[in-house]
Amino acid sequence: MPHDTTEARTRPVIITGLSGGGLSTAAKVFEDKGYFVSQNLPPQLILELVDLAAADDSPVDRLAVVTDVRASMFKGSLMSTIAGIRERGYDPFILFLEARDDVLIRRFDSVRRTHPMQGDGTLQSGIEREREAMEDLRASADVIIDTTSLSVHDLRRAVEASVGELPLGRQHITIESFGFKHGSPRDADIVLDVRFLPNPYWVEELREFRGVDQAVADYVLSQDGARDYVDNVVELLSSTLGGYRHEGKDFITVGVGCTGGHHRSVAVAEAIGKRLSQQGQVDVNVIHRDLERH
């Protein structure tokens, strides 16, 4: 069982996912948040490090461990390692990063690296083998972030928004606006479509503004059905939180989409986030994936 320590010491972060998915960037985010970050330890050493970090005399308050498919070279699997962490009485938070195959291939080509599971085969075959090997770990993740459409700066913001302060016993909702023309977020648990609302893009004096600007927000939310829609979404989310918690899911991502991700989705996402925050039942972060994209 863990020692009498702070919640942070008993909730180590496991940063994992597909090679090329952005693990190094995520690690830097946690370093900036004051975590002691260790990378590519064998499974047994991860267990020892978690114990050391949770000790009463530990100089480490918050621990994050980056591990990927290369850990399978050593005895013990990542799933058994995570099970071992839980058996010790700790509550690990698992962050899983992934991207589309074509994007992963482009990233490996740009840095002229060989995929760790490529062997004598193609880069594509290596990626496919890794996806299969990481399938169970992905299914057990608290948060999955699809980095396909994210720049380095966007990924930093997504990690920060998705994990918050990692509270124990409290649920966390990320409301993410996006544009359908750029693809819907693959990591969203719920996807909402607000293209039924009139588009401010066709109002000349509003076109160059965004949904975070008051004039656009007022226009969007004044349309017939807009505020009722926000009310219904908040009620829907509130009614599902108990079920998510029963299933052990404390981190929920809700995508709100319009055509370009500039106006309607942004305004509605902000409104939903504000309402949920006012209820005080969950931690809420609002991010806008495509706000600056053309």
Over the stretch 225-251, which tens digit does the pLDDT of each residue have? 999 999 999 999 999 988 988 777 788
Measured CA to CA, the distance from residue 204 to residue 213 in angstroms comes to: 15
Q: Is 68 annotated as a binding residue?
A: yes
Q: Is 71 annotated as a binding residue?
A: yes
> In degrees, to the nearest 5, what angle opens at C-alpha 107 toward C-alphas 106 and 113?
110
Q: Is the pLDDT of residue 268 over 90?
A: yes
Q: Given this model, what pLDDT does residue 108 score?
A: 87
| Superfamily, domain 13-163 | P-loop containing nucleotide triphosphate hydrolases (3.40.50.300)
Q: Given this model, what pLDDT does residue 158 score?
A: 83
Confidence tier at 150 by pLDDT (50, 70, 90)? confident
Please compute the mean of the pLDDT values over residues 4-14 and round it to a whole number. Answer: 68
Please compute the mean of the pLDDT values over residues 168-190 and round it to a whole number. Answer: 87
Give the E-state strand segments of 62-202 in sequence order: 63-66, 93-98, 143-146, 172-179, 190-193
Please compute the mean of the pLDDT values over residues 74-98 and round it to a whole number. Answer: 86
Mean pLDDT: which of 21-35, 128-142, 197-211 is highest? 197-211
Q: Which residues contact 141 (CB under 8 A, 6 or more apart)?
A: 16, 94, 95, 96
Q: Is 70 annotated as a binding residue?
A: yes
Please compute the mean of the pLDDT values over residues 13-37 and round it to a whole number. Answer: 90
Q: Convert the pLDDT of each residue in 27-82 to its tens digit.
A: 988 988 889 999 888 888 898 999 888 888 888 888 999 988 776 666 667 888 89
Residue spans in the chain of domains classed CATH 3.40.50.300: 13-163
Q: Is the pLDDT of residue 88 over 80?
A: yes
Q: Is 113 annotated as a binding residue?
A: no
pLDDT, averaged across the chain: 87
Q: Which residues contact 293 (CB under 8 A, 6 or more apart)?
A: 179, 182, 260, 261
